[in-house]
Structure formats: structure tokens, C-alpha cells
A and B are shown apart, each in its own frame.
Chain A
Amino acid sequence: MTEDRDRISTQADRAVALQGLIKSYRSPNGPVRAVRGIDVSIERGETVALLGPNGAGKSTALDMLLGLSEPDAGAVSVFGHRPHNAVAAGEIGAMLQTGGLIGDLSVQELVSMVASLYPRPRDVEDVLALTGILAVADQRTQTLSGGQAQRVRLALALVSDPDLLVLDEPTVALDVEARRDFWAAMRFFAARGKTVIFATHYLDEADAYADRVVLMANGRVVADGPTTEIKAMVGARTIRATLPDVDADLMGGLPGVTVAERHGETVILTCSDSDAAIRALLERYGDAQDIEITGAGLEQAFLALTGNESQPSVNEEVFA
């Protein structure tokens, strides 16, 4: 944790390396190829969203990252160690997708109990304050609301002051306000140079809280890059302009434009390269007015990248 930051990236500087991971498991319907060969490398300090629909293989990948299951093929390394050793050294804090809290302890006692397992825990009171559960510190865990319990689970993941925080669909049961509070606590943590990887199928969460998005579908990584780059990959930016007298078909021929439509006096250009398109537009049609350029949002990027194969047939998913 005191390594020279200027040193060139080595295996140990890298927070996470997943190489050629493959994992199948048995289900009542036969074997499921949950993860079909993924390669992901995450540097220290990155906040990465693992984004994908249900059944994309996100949880299976995170289970292997955490050492909860062994890959059929491929290798996992966390800070240059095998997951089991990184876990044993207390380098990982995790909030698993499923899981409740054990009863017969107060919130404060439960967080203290978990803190005691780690070599360098944070102050329990601080963590309770950060996660907004100081008010229920003396309450038994079985009496908490769903949102409070989820924040206790975040406190359990943070109290060890881990170098890598892994969150598997952490806000799935929370209302809007609780989600915002949750991410505020997570951001406070990430701001201290920690590495965070979270799985989500909420596109807005990946957009708002991750530096980088790893998009998964059908057990594969279908896109991996900065959030802005993922959006740009499908080129889904839209230019709108008021331009009454020009034929929409002509506009469609502009560089960087994939589709041109006209709605009354407004033309709408869907662009693969909006930078080239806007230059050409202003050069040729200097009288264009009310110009707007909007990003498509991750939702559209997501549909464009996974739409064709996001609904696999049962036969494809299951091989006998």
C-alpha cells in the first residue's frame, strides 16, 4: 500500500486481473455456461461498473474474483495474489448480492465483530456515521428496515478499510433516496484512492458513479472502456437543428451521420461521429439555428451493444 506510484504497472500494482475466465455450473435445467472467457484488468484507484442484464455472468465473475468459487479455466489475481490470499490478508471488502445479517447482536456489536477479523480496521463509530446508521447503532439487527440493513452491510464491507471494495448489485432493494445516500458513502470511500468494482443493471448508476464500464452479456465482455467512450462506441449522439429548407436525404450524406430525419423545421441527425458531423453541418449550412448536441445515455449504448444477443434462447444458454 506504500508502493511507489511512479513505478511501471506490474501485476502487483494492478488491483484486479481476470484472464481467460470460464465457469459453468449445474442448474436444474442442465449446465449453464455463466462465464465464457473474460479478460478484465483493473488498476488501483479505479471505480469500475460491471454492467449487464440479469444472467450476464456478473455475479459468477465476482464470485471467482472473491475466491468463493474456482474458475473452470483461466486465472484471477487480486493485488498480485490469489483471491484466497488477498481475502485472508484482509485486502478485500465485499457486499454480496444475496445475504442478510445475523441476529441477536446490535448494529454496533455486529460491525465490531467483523472489524475484529481484520488487521487494520477503521474506527467503528466513524464507519457507522459514514454509512448513516449511527442512529440505529444500539438496535438489534433483526429489527432494521431493508434500507438500514443494506447500509449495515456496506458498513461491514467498509470497516476493514479494504484496498478493493466489491459490491454485487448493492442498491437493488433500495428506494431512490437510499440509493443516493448509499452512493455518497461509496464515493467518499473511493475518493481515498481505493479500488471499487460494482455490479449493477442500473445504467444510471454505472453512468453516474463509475470511471469505467465493463459491459457484460451472455458471459462475455462486450465493451470495456471509460463511460463516455462506451457511449461514443455506438456513436449514439444526436444533433438537432432548425433548418427549414434542406432535404433530409442530403443531410444523411454528411460525414459522421448515420440517420437523418425531419420533423417540421427541425432536422435530427443520429451520428456515429458527432464532431465531424457538426463541422460539416456548419460549413455547408451556415444558417442552421438552435443547435443541440445530446449524448444518448448508457441505456441506448447498452441496447445497441447487447440488443442482438441479449435474449438468448434456452438452447443456446444450456448445452447438454
Chain B
Amino acid sequence: MSTATYTRYELLRTIRNRRVIIFALAFPVILFLAIAAPNRNVTDFSGTGISTSLYFMVGLAAFATMNAMLASGGRIAADRAAGWNRQLRVSPLSPSAYIGTKVLTGYLLAGLSIVVLYACGVALGVSLPAARWLAMTGLLLVGLIPFAALGIALGHLLSSDSIGPAVGGLVGVLALLGGSWFPISGHGFLHDLAQALPSYWLVQASHVGLGESGWGVHGWLVMALWTIALIGLARRAYRQDTGRGT
């Protein structure tokens, strides 16, 4: 008995799900191509000194991976709607293996969208040193941890009908305030608010690709607090949903 086969089929289901593929994979890539392709010769996007292709490749990498991780919430809500989570609870599959597999499929989707976006970026003239590709990707993957927990929490809190619009709206707001679309100006209320959000730091992780320095103590601290809080929320949501008390 191992969960390898179970995980393999769960990945297969995810890849076959047209809605997941369209929203989590295709949508960010199409968006990137729509913005970057006509502006591929712009080398100084809005006074940043950075090409439009590079700027939006990294910004959309943050957006797309956040989307991919939260998509696991939709799949959990669908399992619950079908009564499938109860069926699994009368099988030897442990709750942690169930959730672990959902997180893994989220990371697989995130990884796929990163690869496709990077490939499109390179096709539009992006060129980075290998170390910078790796540093950006590594920090992005770490930055997705609180979003994995958020996806699990939402998947157990919301119905399969409401989770689509909820996650769509949430990702939009988080990406906007996090600076995925345009730089958040250096001072003022919006900047202070943005710095308290995990999406801001996810975008900062992607900005390693622009030559920025990543997180620093402030960033790591905010991300650690969000991770702890959202894992707590996910745990509570799971227990509430399964009726095992708190």
C-alpha cells in the first residue's frame, strides 16, 4: 500500500480537467502574450529600466502560480460536493496524504505555468543569468506555501459553486495589491497595506528575476506569519468540515 498510485491518478485528473487547464495554465500565458508580444521592443517599461517582456513575465509568474495553488481549493470543494471526501475517510488514506496530494498537484500546476511563461519570455527576448532564473524560481516556490494553505482552507470552507468566483476575485485583488500588474509606489497607505500581504512578497520573489534582492527580514517575517495563520485556518476548516470538533 502506497499513495504513489493514488497521487498519479489525482495528477491525471487535474491535467484532464479542462477548467483547471484553462484558468490556471492557459489564461496567464495568453495574458502575458497579449501584453508582452506587441511591446517586445520596449526596453524601459514605465521608467523602470526593464523590458516589458521581463517585467510581465515575472509578474505573471507570481499571478499564475498563486492561481495554480488556489485552484486546489476548487478541487477540494468539488470532492466535497460529490461526497468523495467522506468516501476517502472510510479508506486507509490519511488526511495528511489527501491534503499533501492536493498541494503536490498545486505545485505541479504552478511548475508547469512557470515553465510555459519562462519559455514564452525567452521567445520574446528575455535573457537572464542561470543563477537568477534559479533564485527567482526557488523563492517563488517557497512563497507559494501560504497560498497552498489558503487553498486548502477555502476548499473546506466554501461550496463548489461559490469557490470559483471567490478565488477568482481574491486572486485578482491580491495580485493587484501585491504589485503583479504594476509597481506599487514606494510610500503611502497602499504601500503599507501591500507589504502586509503575502501576494506582495510573492511578487517580490518574482522580482528577483529583475535583479531585486528578494525578501529580507521583513519579507520572511510576513510570509512566516501568514503561513502559520493560514495553516491554522486550514486545520480549523478541515476539522469543522469533517465534524471532528476543534
Residues of A bordering B, CB below 8 Å: 66-70, 87-90, 92, 94, 96, 98-105, 109-110, 112-114, 116-119, 156, 160, 166
Contact = CB atoms under 8 A, between A and B. Distances in A.
Given A70-B244, A89-B92, A102-B78, A113 B9 contact: yes
- 3 cross-chain pairs, A with B, having the tightest CB-CB distances, nearest first: A99-B83, A116-B5, A113-B9
A116 B93 CA distance: 10
A109 B9 contact: yes
Given A89-B92, A104-B13, A105-B12, A116 B84 contact: no
Contacts of A94: 87, 90
Interface string B203-246: 00000000000000000000000000000000000000001110
Mostly, the A contact residues are loop
A113 B83 contact: no
Interface string B9-41: 110111011000000000000000000000000
20 contacts: A66-B90, A88-B92, A90-B91, A96-B90, A99-B83, A100-B84, A102-B78, A102-B79, A102-B84, A104-B16, A105-B16, A109-B12, A113-B5, A114-B91, A116-B4, A116-B9, A117-B92, A119-B92, A156-B87, A166-B90
Contacts of A66: 90
Contact of A104 (B6, B17, B86, B91): B17
Nearest to B14: A104
A92 B90 CA distance: 7
A213 B191 CA distance: 69
Interface size class of B (residues with CB under 8 A): 20 to 34
A102 B13 CA distance: 9
Nearest to A65: B90
Given A69-B243, A100-B84, 12 more contacts: A68-B90, A68-B243, A88-B92, A98-B86, A99-B82, A102-B82, A104-B12, A104-B14, A104-B17, A118-B1, A118-B91, A118-B92
Interface in B157-210: none
Interface in B58-117: 78-79, 82-84, 86-87, 89-94
B17 A98 contact: no
Contacts of A92: 90
A287 B79 CA distance: 70
A99 B9 CA distance: 20
B238 to A, nearest CB: 14
Contact of B1 (A99, A112, A113, A117): A117
B82 A112 contact: no
Nearest to A119: B1
B83 A98 contact: yes
A101 B13 CA distance: 12
B86 A68 contact: yes
Interface of B: 1-6, 9-10, 12-14, 16-17, 78-79, 82-84, 86-87, 89-94, 243-245
Contacts, number: 86
Nearest to B75: A102
B38 to A, nearest CB: 36
B68 to A, nearest CB: 17
A116 B6 contact: yes
A100 B6 CA distance: 18
Contacts of A118: 1, 91-92
Of B10, B13, B79, the most chain A CB neighbours within 10 A belong to: B13
Contact of B82 (A67, A70, A101): A101
Contacts of B91: 87, 90, 114, 117-118, 160
A116 B92 contact: no
B90 A112 contact: no
Nearest to B90: A94
B82 A100 contact: yes
A101 B5 contact: no
Nearest to A87: B90
Contact of B92 (A90, A101, A103, A105): A90
Contacts of B92: 87-90, 117-119
Contacts of A103: 13, 17
A87 B14 CA distance: 27
A72 to B, nearest CB: 12
B5 A112 contact: yes
B148 to A, nearest CB: 21
A166 B92 CA distance: 15
Interface centre among A67, A90, A104 (most CB of B within 10 A): A104
A68 B89 contact: yes
A222 to B, nearest CB: 27
B90 A113 contact: no
Nearest to A66: B90
Contact of B83 (A87, A100, A104, A109): A100
A117 B79 contact: no
A109 B87 CA distance: 16
A99 B87 contact: yes
Contacts of B5: 112-113, 116
B236 to A, nearest CB: 17
Contacts of A89: 92
A109 B13 CA distance: 10
B20 to A, nearest CB: 9
